[in-house]
Amino acid sequence: MDKEKLDELKIQLQQLLNEAQEFVQQIPPAQLCTAVGVVLFTVFLFTVMYYLLKHRSANTILLTGLSGSGKTVLFYQLRDGSCHQGSVTSTKPNEGRFLLHSEANKLQKGKMKHVHVVDVPGHSRLLAKLDEFLSRAAGIVFVVDSVEFLPHLRIASEYLYDILTNASVVKRKTPLLLLCNKIDRVTAHSMDFIRRQLEKEMTVLSSADTSDEHTLGVVGEAFAFSQCHNKVTTAEASGLTGDIYHLEQFISECVKP
Amino acid sequence: MLEQLLIFTRGGLILWTCKELGNALRGSPIDTLIRSCLLEERSGSASYNYDAPGASYTLKWTFHNDLGLVFVAVYQRILHLLYVDDLLSVVKKEFSEIYDLKRTSYNDFDDIFQQLKKEAEARAEEMKKSKQVGKSMNNNLARKLGNVLNGNMDGGNKKKSGGEPGNDRDSGNFKGRPLENGNISNNHIGKGEETMMVKNNGKENGISNTGAFDVNKLQKLRSKGGKKTETVSNKVSKEEPKKITKKNRVWDDSPKEAKLDFTDPGSENGEQHIAVVAADQGESMMDKEEIVSSDSESESEEEETSKNNKVDGKKKGWFSSMFQSIAGKANLENSDLEPALKALKDRLMTKNVAEEIAEKLCESVASSLEGKRLASFTRISSTVQAAMEDALTRILTPRRSIDILRDVHAAKEQGKPYVVVFVGVNGVGKSTNLAKVAYWLQQHNVNVMMAACDTFRSGAVEQLRTHARRLQIPIFEKGYEKDPAIVAKEAIQEASRNGSDVVLVDTAGRMQDNEPLMRALSKLIYVNSPDLVLFVGEALVGNDAVDQLSKFNQKLGDLSPSPDPRLIDGILLTKFDTIDDKVGAALSMVYISGAPVMFVGCGQSYTDLKKLNVKSIVKTLLK
């Protein structure tokens, strides 16, 4: 049944082709040239616009970190100013292009820029998703749980190490913000403690690193975040209470230029 | 009663919880469900059990794949609620009508939910009643039987002097007990009989009138069995002193032969005789980066497979399927997914994935694709393929760090040696790969020591000794017929004395069904508490991989005397060079045990050890 249909179609197509060929040969050459020229021009225009758009959308901010550090809550704080009814472990990234909630309330005279924020799940099985977004990021926020910090210290430092040695991050010198979340809790560690512990772990990691890709820090010296080529800053925040001033500042700095 | 019903997005935001059932859940069942079930590609199973101190819940779920929503119901495990599945599906339907991408609070859903819950409960009650009508016949029969037996019992009691009041009480309780369903009442009858029997035993009356089993007889049988074993052991002990050594049989008049022992007398001083092979055979393949070729060939292959699918699958007609793929409006139904999934399952099985695992994976992918809207210009088969690729990448990505060097460093800082135990069935390549791992660690300036705890197989200790000599690392051995657990313990003590960073413990191969050997293994692990239990499995194994790993894990868990048993921490896949592209064993093993593949052995020389490349395996599996 299908074969017969295919044969019929083939005959029909051939007839159409013949007709088209005759038709084309009938048109005077000038018209043909202008038609082709117009087509080429529109194609050119589209490619130019596409590249412009791509460049413009390099205002992506990535929220990364381990599972349970509070990225989804921060995402919704940025977007809506409240964390609604709470969150569970994410299995898919949350993407949104919006005005920061705090800025939307203010009356601003100038144009406000929309920010494209992506919340990448931190579960170790979903590590592959991070690579898709790293190449497009204008700024990376590494969220750390200040309360449950020490038990996850090793995994967190390995994750951070992988981000900092990623090829596109090194090439584009993406700024990174180390955000210590959940400081509203009493047992939260301080910002400096967290930074120092991470630096210590990264020293060991960079000395044990066997791959040929980019390594961090200076060989022989203890690692410090100031040695990175891209700017690494630390800040504190609390997703639940909405204390995200430093985070918003970082975002506006990354997105502006 | 339902404990909680949650609706949340796949991105993690909770959209709605039932406010009436406001009991706070103990522990974190939802997060555990996501981590241990949904992210582990087990979303095709019917329910999930969660145990927390003080509570034990059962969770059931359903997805709305088009909108990316997850609906989860939590209830106490002891209540076997029948209406949960029904309730979840009606909640899904109703909620998807009021769902809006921008909205984040759905307080008006409370009333709708209450109504739906009442309806679902009512429907379940009706179903129960209709079932009970059928079962009440069984109940009546059972009751009659119970009465007959009771009558006999009472008769028997009255014969003796001073029938215990306890017995009458028992029979009274017995009749009055509510009979829920036929099965349970039968059990009660059986138990009631037994207690009666036991109570009457003391009087030593022949109660065998009732014809049921007699505890007296059972006890006699048991004592008989005991006597039998005693006689057997006596015979054995009598035989031992009579042992006669075998004399060589002499044919004709040939002269007596010399001793048939050809072992080299100088083997103990082998270091002088045997040339020491240079330890430097090049860089171990663990440290070489694998280059994954970009998938430019995948397009043409997809077309070929799709052609096959069109011929095999439903003959919908060329026009309608093309039209649908362009318009992309179709909501995926199970019937649409079936042919594509079946083709995928067959393809996975030809790649040596165990049948059970392929089945579960396909179910999980089906549950995550059902109801989803097809994007335009995509075929069903390509959507299914993409979803399966995602799922496979997720499973094969390790859940925890597999960087052993980092762990060794950490153990070094603490001042104790890092202990690795190699377990597995017979003949998978434990000793060979142990040597490869030792070589690799040596290249990273780690002091390694081997422990020969295979005290059963002839030549095992010599094998390790040869490897140790070639690699020039110390070996701890105690010969044969010793308790492996004790040998391992002493080896670890020796290692901490002579400053070794890593101890690699070789054990004897054992079948997963062999109970005494598995007990010995769990004793070894319990006594020595190693840092890493590495299961060595060969890539040639087929469906048996599932059995091996699940039995090993189960036995290690059950037979361990500690309340927190050590299970398999990692997998070492061997003989990878013997399979061309039938790499499915890796997937089966990782899926069934949850442990990551830490090493892959791909040859018989010291450098043939590499890391598992997830992307290339997934590509090979789906080719």
**How many folded domains does chain A comprise?**
2
Residue type, B314: K
Q: How far is CA B281 from the centre of its chain?
A: 38
Within an 8 Å CB–CB cutoff, is residue B395 touching chain A?
Answer: yes
Q: Which of A67, A87, A128 sits opposite B13 (nearest CB)?
A: A87
Measured between alpha carbons, how far is B404 from B402 in angstroms, rounded to an integer? 6
Better pLDDT: B238 or A129: A129
Q: Which of A5, A84, A204 sits opposite B105 (nearest CB)?
A: A84
Closest to B403 measured CA to CA, from B442, B445, B441, B430 = B441
Between chains, do B104 and A84 touch, taking CB under 8 Å as contact? Answer: yes
- A133 and A34 fall within a common domain: no
Flag whether pLDDT at B421 surpasses 90: yes
CA distance A95 to chain B (A): 9
Residues with Cβ within 8 Å of residue B322, at least 6 apart in sequence: none
Angle at the Cα of B9 (from A185 to B33), degrees rounded to 5?
70
Angle at the Cα of B412 (from B410 to B415), degrees rounded to 5?
120
Measured between alpha carbons, how far is A180 from A193 in angstroms, rounded to an integer? 10
- Model pLDDT for residues B543-565, shown as the tens digit of each residue: 888 888 999 888 888 888 777 88
**Poorest-pLDDT segment among A66-70, A131-135, B181-185, B371-375:** B181-185
Measured between alpha carbons, how far is B342 from B308 in angstroms, rounded to an integer? 13
Measured between alpha carbons, how far is A46 from A56 in angstroms, rounded to an integer? 15
- A107 and A141 fall within a common domain: yes
Q: What's the mean pLDDT when you consider all of chain A?
A: 79
- A155 and A229 fall within a common domain: yes
Q: pTM, whole model, 2 decimals?
A: 0.69
Measured between alpha carbons, how far is A215 from A199 in angstroms, rounded to an integer? 14
- A75 and A38 fall within a common domain: no
DSSP-assigned states of every residue in chain A: -HHHHHHHHHHHHHHHHHHHHHHHHHS-HHHHHHHHHHHHHHHHHHHHHHHHHHHHT--EEEEEESTTSSHHHHHHHHHHSS-TT-B---SS-EEEEE--HHHHHS--SSPPPPEEEEE----GGGTHHHHHHHTTEEEEEEEEESSS-GGGHHHHHHHHHHHHT-HHHHHHT--EEEEEE-TTSTTPPPHHHHHHHHHHHHHHHHHH--SSS---S-TTSPP-GGGSSS-EEEEE-BTTTTB-HHHHHHHHHHH--
Residue type, B297: E
Nearest CA in chain A to B445: A208
**What does the pLDDT average to over B300-318?**
45
Within an 8 Å CB–CB cutoff, is residue B408 touching chain A?
Answer: no
- A134 and A10 fall within a common domain: no
- Domain span including residue A9: 3-52
Instruction: Give the confidence band of B229 by pLDDT, cuts at 50, 70, 90.
Output: very low
Q: Are B574 and B538 in contact (CB under 8 A)?
A: yes
Say whether the ipTM exceeds 0.85: no
Instruction: Give the confidence band of B219 by pLDDT, cuts at 50, 70, 90.
Output: low
- A12 and A131 fall within a common domain: no
Q: Which of B289, B400, B409 sits opposite A208 (nearest CB)?
A: B409
Residues with Cβ within 8 Å of residue B535, at least 6 apart in sequence: B423, B424, B549, B552, B568, B570, B571, B572, B589, B593, B595
Between chains, do B287 and A210 touch, taking CB under 8 Å as contact? Answer: yes
Residues with Cβ within 8 Å of residue A236, at least 6 apart in sequence: A146, A179, A180, A183, A191, A243, A246
- A38 and A88 fall within a common domain: no
- A101 and A32 fall within a common domain: no
Provide the pLDDT for residue B466.
92
Q: Which of A87, A91, A93 sits opposite B14 (nearest CB)?
A: A87
- A98 and A183 fall within a common domain: yes
- A163 and A208 fall within a common domain: yes
Question: Which tokens belong to B530?
Answer: 């190693």
**What does the pLDDT average to over A227-245?**
80
Burial of residue B427 (CB within 10 Å: 0-12, 13-18, 19+) is exposed
Burial of residue B238 (CB within 10 Å: 0-12, 13-18, 19+) is exposed
**What does the pLDDT average to over B124-134?**
80
- A222 and A103 fall within a common domain: yes
CA distance B289 to chain A (A): 7
Helix or strand holding residue B153 (H, E): helix B109-159
Provide the pLDDT for residue A168.
81
Between chains, do A85 and B444 touch, taking CB under 8 Å as contact? Answer: no
Instruction: Give the confidence band of A180 by pLDDT, cuts at 50, 70, 90.
Output: confident
- A29 and A77 fall within a common domain: no
Residue type, B226: G
Tell me, what CATH number does A128's domain have?
3.40.50.300
The contacts found for B403-406 with CB under 8 angstroms, 24 or more apart, are B403/A158, B403/A208, B404/B441, B404/B532, B404/B598, B405/A208, B405/A210, B405/B441, B405/B444, B405/B446, B406/A154, B406/A158, B406/A204, B406/A205, B406/A208
Measured between alpha carbons, how far is B30 from B59 in angstroms, rounded to an integer? 8
CA distance B403 to chain A (A): 10
Between chains, do A94 and B405 touch, taking CB under 8 Å as contact? Answer: no
